[in-house]
């Protein structure tokens, strides 16, 4: 009879444990779904992660909805992409959040771009808006190189460990495991895309600079005349002659670019329009950071395999 009582008590405690655990979760808010995916990889069961930007949206054009202010109000950690990607909307959300944990310089505010060692397209010399919507700190689409994703995941694990020292070891261990798995995958993706090395493509926006630097293909022209400036007819004509003279076969676009106009151009110029997911959650089957590159690599192989 006595033993039976012990079993029951243990059962009750076990049933309550998840509830206790839920209380202690670290609440992480990220701006983009990519950062959310990385935070989930290293945070595991100890964190609750939400992203502000939906996978279908272009992170350049998000609005500072007060709903996000409520989310930030409760957050223990805000991870943002940085390099001025979110400059049009994030400052207002942070100010409105009234959350002392997210003050500039606090542990709770993390600029993920600080973990990235090699930043591309950092403008040299003077920058002004005659160059379009140029990012003075460099191209912010660094998570489209998986090696940067690994660096960022490590940095997130370190930051989580500082905020929640009880679980520091498990964050760092998960980041290490993620890095190892990614190293294998990266080697495989590189093998699978060897055919792309040295190929020339055109693209809508400077979204793919990190991806092309990693995989070794070249983006030789852009639909956008300057970053953020939609193409005019004169620029399209120049682009078309560029495509013909260099024998470009493929135009790359992100899922959130204006695809209808691009398709029309591709038909006219006789090239293939290849739409790549530019972030996690861009498609139903892209739910995690590795799946994003699985899909990108698969799409590129199909495009170049048939195109050449």
Partner 1 sequence: MVLRALWMITSVWLFLLVFSVGWGQQRIVSQTTVTGVSRAFNPAISVNALLLGMTQLETGEGSHGETAPEESADHTPGPLEGSDEHAHESLDEETAHEAHGHSLGTEGLFVQEVEVRFTAFADPHVKADLTLSMHGAEGVELEEGYVQTLGLPANLLVRGGKFLVPFGKHNPLHTHEFPFVEPPLVHERLFGEEGLNEVGIEVSWLTPLPWYAEVGGALLNGDNPSLFDLERGLAYSGRVRNFFDWNETTTLELGLSGAFQRQEGRGWSRALGADWTVKWTPLETARHRAAVFQAEVVSGKDREGHSLFGGYGLVRVRLGRPWWVQGGFDWLGEEAFRSRARFALVFAPTEFQAIRFQYSVAWTSGEEVEADHRVAVQYNVTIGSHPAHAY
Q: Which is nearer to partner 1, 73 or 168 (CB)?
A: 73
Between residues 21 and 136, which has the closer beta carbon with respect to partner 1?
Answer: 136
Cβ pair 179, 153 in contact under 8 A: yes
Q: Minimum Å distance from CB 37 to partner 1?
A: 18
Burial string for 154-168 (b: 16+ CB within 10 Å, else e) reads: bbbbbbbbebbeebe
Cβ proximity of 64 and 92 under 8 Å: yes
- Please give the C-alpha separations between residue 178 and each of 20, 152, 170, in angstroms, as whole numbers: 27, 11, 12
Do 276 and 299 touch, CB atoms closer than 8 A? yes
Residue 246 beta carbon to partner 1: minimum distance, rounded to whole angstroms = 27
> Residue 103, interface with partner 1 (CB under 8 A)?
yes
> What is the total count of residues that contact partner 1 (CB under 8 A)?
41
CA 96 to chain centre: 25
Site for partner 1 in 158-177 (CB under 8 A): none
122 binds partner 1 (CB under 8 A): no
> What's the CA dihedral at 142, 145, 148, 154 to 10 degrees?
120
Does residue 129 interact with partner 1 by CB under 8 A?
A: yes
Residue numbers 19-58 binding partner 1 by CB under 8 A: 54, 56-58
State whether the Cα torsion 217-222-227-228 is positive or negative. negative
Smallest gap from residue 227 Cβ to partner 1 (A): 11
Does position 96 interact with partner 1 (CB under 8 A)? The reply is yes
With CB under 8 A as the contact rule, the residue among 136, 165, 216, 307 that binds partner 1 is 136
Instruction: Provide, rounded to whole angstroms, the least separation between the CB of residue 70 and partner 1.
Output: 5
User: Which SS3 state, helix, strand or coil, does residue 77 take?
Assistant: strand
State the nearest-atom distance from the C-beta of 53 to partner 1, in Å: 10
Q: Per CB under 8 A, does 114 bind partner 1?
A: no
User: Rounded to 5 degrees, what are φ and ψ at 48?
Assistant: -120, 120
What's the rounded Cα separation, in Å, for the pair 135 and 120?
A: 11
User: Contacting partner 1 (CB under 8 A), which of 4, 14, 105, 247?
Assistant: 105
Q: Which is nearer to partner 1, 91 or 270 (CB)?
A: 91
Phi then psi for residue 10, to 5 deg, are -60, -40
Give whichever of 218 and 255 is closer to partner 1, judged by the CB atom. Answer: 255
Query: Quick one: tokens of 267?
Result: 């038909």
Residue 107 as a binder of partner 1 (CB under 8 A): the answer is no
Q: How big is the CA angle at 162 (ends 159 and 146), to the nearest 5 degrees?
A: 20
Question: What is the token pair recorded at 218?
Answer: 């070249």
Find the binding residues for partner 1 in span 221-280 (CB under 8 A).
Answer: 228-230, 256-259
Using the minimum distance from each CB to partner 1, give the nearer residue, 148 or 257. Answer: 257
Is residue 102 a contact residue for partner 1 (CB under 8 A)? yes
- Say whether residue 288 binds partner 1 (CB under 8 A): no
Helix (H), strand (E) at residue 218: strand 218-222
In the set 25, 27, 48, 84, which binds partner 1 (CB under 8 A)? 84
71: number of CA atoms within 13 Å, CB side?
A: 19
C-beta of 84 vs 158, nearer to partner 1: 84
Instruction: Give the residues lining the site for partner 1 (CB under 8 A).
Output: 54, 56-58, 61, 63-67, 69-70, 73, 84, 87-92, 95-96, 98-105, 129, 133, 136-137, 228-230, 256-259
């Amino acid at each position: 009879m006595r033993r039976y009582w012990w079993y029951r008590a243990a059962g009750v405690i076990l049933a309550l444990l998840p509830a206790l655990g839920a209380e202690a979760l670290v609440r992480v808010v990220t701006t983009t779904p990519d950062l959310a995916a990385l935070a989930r990889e290293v945070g595991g069961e100890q964190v609750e992660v939400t992203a502000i930007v939906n996978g279908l949206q272009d992170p350049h054009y998000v609005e500072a909805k007060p709903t996000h202010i409520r989310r930030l109000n409760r957050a223990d950690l805000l991870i943002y992409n940085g390099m001025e990607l979110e400059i049009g909307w994030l400052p207002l959300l942070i100010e409105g959040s009234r959350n002392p944990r997210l003050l500039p310089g606090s542990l709770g505010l993390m600029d993920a771009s600080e973990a990235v060692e090699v930043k591309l397209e950092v403008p040299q010399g003077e920058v002004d808006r005659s160059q379009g919507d140029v990012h003075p700190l460099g191209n912010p689409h660094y998570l489209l190189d998986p090696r940067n994703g690994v660096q960022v995941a490590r940095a997130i694990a370190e930051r989580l460990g500082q905020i929640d020292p009880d679980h520091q070891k498990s964050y760092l261990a998960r980041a290490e495991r993620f890095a190892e798995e990614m190293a294998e995958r990266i080697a495989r993706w590189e093998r699978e895309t060897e055919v792309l090395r040295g190929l020339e493509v055109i693209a809508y926006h400077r979204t793919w600079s990190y991806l092309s630097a990693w995989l070794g293909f070249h983006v030789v022209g852009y639909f956008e005349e300057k970053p953020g400036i939609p193409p005019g007819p004169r620029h399209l004509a120049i682009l078309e002659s560029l495509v013909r003279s260099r024998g470009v076969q493929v135009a790359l676009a992100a899922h959130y670019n204006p695809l209808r106009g691009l398709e029309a151009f591709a038909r006219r110029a006789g090239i293939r329009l290849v739409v790549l997911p530019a972030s996690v959650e861009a498609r139903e089957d892209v739910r995690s950071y590795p799946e994003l590159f699985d899909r990108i690599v698969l799409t590129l192989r199909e495009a170049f395999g048939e195109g050449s």
